[in-house]
Amino acid sequence: MTKHIKLSPSMMCADIGALRETLAIFEKHGVDYLHIDVMDGVFVPNLMLGTDYCARLRALSSIPLDIHLMISNPEPKIAWFAPQPGEYVSVHAESTKHLHRAIQTVQKTGARAFAALNPATPLSVVEYVMQDVSGVLLMLVNPGYAGQLLIPETLRKIRELRALADAKRLPDFEIQVDGNVGFENVKEITEAGADFIVLGSSAVFHKDYSLEEAVVKFKNTLIV
């Protein structure tokens, strides 16, 4: 039985002027989550999406949120996003001195917790929390901007993380990948062990296709 690959369009890439139409296409074609890149201009050199945007999306769509916190000192701010059961909140290991406590804070809201790692951060950083989280978000690009190119060494990182999860007998451990995942590389990325894909400008928001064409094309890419 082929594993279900979860799809999570990166809403920072969405046309804000066509939000309702965008959400209607995602609901029609059945994406799993909406990826919300939250950036504070301190942890990453960009400002992006916030608590009100999350609240508005929840009012406009039934697709659950997948909130990627690229912010400094995340613990006291997690509640600001009112995470819901069934949603995900990713906390960067590099953004806090107390990753385990941040994970507990997310889980107390009823949401699922991911630990997130920047490309250069070794897997050893999450080794002692792997049994506590739902999975790990691996950045394949340096966080902050869409449209960047994948850092090749991150492919090996996906493989090594899947091997680590298997060695720890964590069959439901999820590996989310974020950054430059597209039509050409998604097969190699899922074969390496990723099962939760952030879809940005290389995928469903690709400039050469309409949104609906790109969603259909990407889903077909996964089938073959």
Task: Note the residues at the interface with ligand DX5 (CB under 6 A).
Answer: 10, 12-13, 35, 37, 68, 141, 143-148, 178-181, 198, 200-202
Using rule CB under 5 A, residue 178 touches Zn ion: yes
Based on CB atoms, which residue is closest to ligand DX5, 50 or 144?
144
Q: What sign does the CA torsion over 15, 179, 37, 45 have?
A: negative
User: Interface with Zn ion by CB under 5 A: which range of 17-25, 114-122, 171-179, 205-213?
Assistant: 171-179
DSSP of 61-123, one letter per residue?
Answer: --SPEEEEEE-SS-GGGGGGG---TT-EEEEEGGG-S-HHHHHHHHHHTT-EEEEEE-TTS-G
Which 97-156 residues touch Zn ion, going by CB under 5 A? none
The catalytic residues are 37, 178
| Residue type at 136 in one-letter notation | V
* Minimum CB–partner distance for residue 169 and Zn ion (Å): 28
Residue nearer to Zn ion on the CB measure, 37 or 40? 37
Question: Out of Zn ion, ligand DX5, none, which partner does residue 141 contact, by CB within 5 to 8 A per kind?
Answer: ligand DX5
- The identity of residue 163, as a single letter, is A
The footprint of Zn ion (CB under 5 A) covers 37, 68, 178
